[in-house]
Structure 1
Amino acid sequence: MIREEANKELARRSYRDYVEYAHFGLYKHFPHTDLICEHIQPIADGEQKFIIIEMPPRHGKSMTTTETFPSYFVMKNPTKRVITVSYADTLARKFGRKNRDKVKLVGQKLFNVNISPLVSKANDWELENSGGGMISVGITGGATGHGADLLVIDDPFKNREEAESLLMRDKVFEEWESTFLTRLHGGGSIIIIMTRWHEDDLIGRLLKKSNFKWERLRLPAVAEDENDLLQREVGEPLCPGLGYDKKWADDKKVQVGSRTWASLYQQRPSPADGNIFKRHWIRYYVPNDEFKRKYNLGDEVKVLPRLFDKSVQSWDCTFKDTKKSDFVAGHVWNRKQGEFFMLDREHDRMNLPTTISAIRRLSTKWPDAIAKYIEDKANGPAVMQMLKGELTGMIPVEPDGGKEARANAVSPLFEAGNVYLPHPLYKPWVEEVIEELVSFPNGQHDDDVDAATQALNKLRIGKKSLLDRYRDLM
């Protein structure tokens, strides 16, 4: 009896203990679930917090949070209300039912509360005589007429197909802004729990655009840096106690591929070392020896040659003149024998007039780049028509294969160390190009990749012996 009373008192005071108590001994904590409980406990104690939790699948994220925390929060704060959201009404209803059933089982014993017999549906329940409760809806189901002191969003995307759909990503974000965020009461808290599919998913956008002070709990399946939240060693798995050990991680990475492993399991939609283009393949140049000495750069950094064999412009002209449209990218690339150098870049969201101005500007700046390759789709034909008779060397390029095929065709040039980008100390904008290269094909934008691969595919023509060497290496 004394032990039972002690366990009940611990469950009242500590959410960590409540999780174990409410699952009747069928739940076991691990370091990462301890961390989650530590961070969300203050919400139940009355503190306003905005928390993002990124975790791989099957590691207890929903059981620890969405299926359990709303019941604890409402019982401790019986006048407060919770809205829980997921990608489908059926899953949201499951979350509602799990929490309702916990209140039925332990509510009277722990907090002297009960479910109201008048409002007791799985997706909409209340506490008796207090007004607190929980509703559960799909991300597109809306929550009209309901307010929340706690908003929990658990996996708003069903799968990769949904997450890779710009239409769906826009729809989820629109629901966040126009529906659910407007339901939050003053002083209310938010918990967002996801496995990541895409860098432009809900978490990606919130980290870029939201003015909330987010606490981000990013918990990759395998630790990959010294700043790991659990102070794991690099390479240490998140939860070997559940069978997800190093061997499981090695096997799973092979099974699902590097792209899915990086996003779904590591919560890093862009692989740290890249996908088609590896970060460690990037080579740099600087304008002269004086610059190299000034910044004490090593021998691996090349000095830009004075003369080149060929110079070209390459343009990816996709514009809609909206804030959500892709960028227009224009590059200047030069070739010196078997080496390729990116010299300049125009990059912005542009409409037709500003694109025309950018091409004129780059043509004046680099008169030797006579060939101007412009992809013969989207807005390319309109651009060429506008500049016809004014600029020479405009060449329409019919895309050969998909974007990934064109990228794979030139990736051996990067791997062999024959492609040079300006050093970030020389041209800081190159860091944006690098991030887009290593994020491709699952990055938010690919305009720089399109412009670069188009230029390199044209410049490499005539280098058959070099390309044969690359094929031998593959």
Structure 2
Amino acid sequence: MPPEARSSTITDAERLAIQVEAQEDLYFFSRYMFKRRKKFKWRHNWHHREICDALMRVFRGECKRLIINIPPRYSKTELAVVNFIAWALGQVPDSEFIHISYAAKLAINNSSNVLGLMQHEAYSDVFPGLAFSSDASAHWTTTAGGVMYATGAGGTITGFGAGKDREGFGGAIIIDDPHKADEARSDTVRNGVIEWFQNTLESRCNSPDTPIIVIMQRLHERDLAGWLEAGGNGETWEVLKLKAIQGDGSALWPAKHSIERLERMRTANSHTFAGQYQQQPSPGEGNTFRPDNIAIVDAIPAGTRMLRGWDFAASVPNAGSDPDWTVGGKLGVTPDGRFIIADIARMRGLPHEVEACLKNTADRDGKPVKISIPQDPGQAGKSQVAAFTRLLSGYSVSSSTESGDKITRAEPFAAQCNVGNVMMLRAPWNDELISEMRMFPNGTHDDQVDALSRAFHELHGGNTGLLDYLQQQTQATQQATSQAATQETNPWLNRP
């Protein structure tokens, strides 16, 4: 009988049975502790049993190198870090663990959660007698000699080791999401994590038999899990790959994501979904945008609010060269929350010609159209923004530095395009833009996508506040309706 079905009043025999089962089975232990701590049922699923079984094989010494690939928010940290470490220390109180995540803050928070679970009264019912000699969140110890140390990928671990140089389980290195999602496409950052694993973390094993567990969503075909699975460190790894959409077309965890919702997520962003949810990352070659889902229209809906985002280049074409373009993408948001690509200004020229294009385009758009320009790093970028802002005196101008790589910046806009929430005004520039979108990110140019992605960010999440705008529109409509109703019921208001 599962622990949540038991009465709060139990006999000594039942209490002993629960204790024995929780000590022997990580899955039962996890469900029991969740119910005792949270006071409600854990929405468990069959994949949780799969994870626990794999972790227990590690504990029994049947697996030394384990990779678990799983979608985000599918209980990976709760099971593979918090519950497994607590359960293993209950079995072997002098075990030594090193826990890693992409940020030290996350790893330390996980370590604190392990400590909190072990200090709960329910834990002492399962593993009585375990005590702590120190309880700092990042580094704590048991009186039996057990150690828990947590840090971020690339952090300092000098003086700490994992495992015991003896027979049987003595601890492990547990890595939970070594890559930050929006940095995984950077070769420099991603390879830095792999080099740190190879040059620093692996040397922290106190014994050749010390297990290493990597549990993560896949973010890139050459992320840490991909590198290890391909034999990057010369070892063979057992891989448990849990896909959000199973091979038979069913949902991995229907209570979390129905198959209908998963299909919508895949349609909106197939590239991200392939990695994070299906554990099959692809290079992203030309599948970010689906421009065939963009409707071509002949008029801009009334009440559309416009913003033009810019991507600058100061270059002219020479024989045999194909330099970048300066592009201003004009994007609008309609009163019902759809988006429309209204215009593309595109030119190549010297700096003074770029300035002239910027000013002339602003004059043509008029002052109701807001303007967003990128700010390059350093003092030179600040000076350029200041010069452009002076040039555009009288217009609403915002600026910001670019964060993340081009694909990451483009994905929110691409998601709207892919689900049919973006329209395009019929114009001669349509074909060039559609071609660039279709090839992005591997086409020769991506300047139009960059400019429109900037405009979308400002409209949707930037300084101009799409939600505030839509709220204002709703309030204005409600106010107009109320006024009309008042005038209809009170005709004397209309009298001169």
Q: State the TM-score, normalized to the length of structure 1.
A: 0.55
Matched, 1:4 2:12: no
Identity of aligned residues (%): 29
Distance 1:254 1:401, change over 3 A: farther
- Given the alignment, which residue of 41, 45, 51 partners 2:56? 41
Q: Which has the higher strand share?
A: 1
- Given the alignment, which residue of 94, 108, 123 partners 2:124? 108
Q: Which runs of 5+ in 1 are unaligned?
A: 226-232, 279-376, 382-394, 416-436, 454-474
Distance 1:177 1:401, change over 3 A: farther
Q: Is the 8 A contact 2:124 2:130 kept in 1?
A: yes
Deviations 1:397-427 (A, max 9, x none): 425669999xx97998xx9xxxxxxxxxxxx
Q: CA deviation at 1:47?
A: 3.8
Deviations 1:299-340 (A, max 9, x none): xxxxxxxxxxxxxxxxxxxxxxxxxxxxxxxxxxxxxxxxxx
Q: What are the equivalent positions in structure 2 for 1:292-307 lying under 5 Å apart?
A: none
Distance of 1:82 and 1:47 partners within structure 2: 18
Matched, 1:132 2:146: yes
Q: Indicate the SS of the match to 1:268.
A: coil
**What's the counterpart of residue 320 of structure 2?**
396
Distance of 2:86 and 2:127 partners within structure 1: 11
- Given the alignment, which residue of 281, 299, 320 partners 1:269? 281
Q: CA deviation at 1:48?
A: 4.3
Distance of 2:61 and 2:218 partners within structure 1: 29
Return the letter of the residue paired with 2:322.
Answer: E
**What's the counterpart of residue 223 of structure 2?**
201
Matched, 1:177 2:198: yes
Matched, 1:259 2:271: yes
Q: CA deviation at 1:26?
A: 3.8
Distance 1:178 1:26, change over 3 A: farther
Q: Which runs of 5+ in 2 are unaligned?
A: 1-10, 164-171, 291-314, 327-405, 411-430, 446-496
Return the letter of the residue paired with 1:166.
Answer: D
How many matched pairs? 291
Q: Is the 8 A contact 2:66 2:212 kept in 1?
A: yes
Q: CA deviation at 1:110?
A: 2.2
Q: What are the equivalent positions in structure 2 for 1:67-106 lying under 5 Å apart?
A: 67-105=82-120, 106=122
Q: State the TM-score, normalized to the length of structure 2.
A: 0.53
Matched, 1:222 2:236: no
Distance of 2:152 and 2:325 partners within structure 1: 38
Matched, 1:245 2:267: no
Distance 1:266 1:123, change over 3 A: same
Q: CA deviation at 1:10?
A: 0.4
Q: Is the 8 A contact 1:56 1:265 kept in 2?
A: yes
Distance 1:107 1:198, change over 3 A: same
Q: CA deviation at 1:271?
A: 7.6
Distance 1:409 1:81, change over 3 A: farther
Distance of 2:77 and 2:323 partners within structure 1: 44
Distance 1:254 1:115, change over 3 A: farther
Deviations 1:192-240 (A, max 9, x none): 11112211211122122122221111111112x4xxxxxxx1x211100
Q: What are the equivalent positions in structure 2 for 1:54-453 lying under 5 Å apart?
A: 54-105=69-120, 106-116=122-132, 118-128=133-143, 130-149=144-163, 150-160=172-182, 162-186=183-207, 187-208=209-230, 209-223=232-246, 225=247, 233=248, 235-242=249-256, 244-255=257-268, 257-270=269-282, 275=287, 396-399=320-323, 441=441
Q: CA deviation at 1:75?
A: 1.7
Q: CA deviation at 1:143?
A: 1.1
**What's the counterpart of residue 387 of structure 2?**
none
Distance of 2:61 and 2:280 partners within structure 1: 32
Deviations 1:414-473 (A, max 9, x none): x9xxxxxxxxxxxxxxxxxxxxx9xx85xxxx7xx87xx9xxxxxxxxxxxxxxxxxxxx
Q: Indicate the SS of the match to 2:148.
A: strand
Q: Is the 8 A contact 1:263 1:269 kept in 2?
A: yes
Distance of 1:131 and 1:108 partners within structure 2: 18
Q: Indicate the SS of the match to 2:213.
A: strand
Q: CA deviation at 1:274?
A: 7.3
Q: Indicate the SS of the match to 2:287.
A: coil
Distance of 2:250 and 2:156 partners within structure 1: 41
Return the letter of the residue paired with 2:279.
Answer: Q
Deviations 1:170-190 (A, max 9, x none): 211121112211101211111
Return the letter of the residue paired with 1:262.
Answer: A
Distance of 2:180 and 2:130 partners within structure 1: 33
Q: CA deviation at 1:38?
A: 0.9
Q: Is the 8 A contact 1:113 1:127 kept in 2?
A: no
Matched, 1:14 2:37: no
Distance of 1:203 and 1:45 partners within structure 2: 23
Q: Is the 8 A contact 2:108 2:137 kept in 1?
A: yes
4+ runs deviating over 6 angstroms:
271-274, 401-405, 408-412
Return the letter of the residue paired with 1:252.
Answer: M
Return the letter of the residue paired with 2:157.
Answer: A
Return the letter of the residue paired with 2:156.
Answer: G
Distance of 1:59 and 1:177 partners within structure 2: 28
Q: CA deviation at 1:135?
A: 1.0
Distance 1:34 1:108, change over 3 A: same
Q: Is the 8 A contact 1:276 1:411 kept in 2?
A: no
Q: CA deviation at 1:252?
A: 2.1
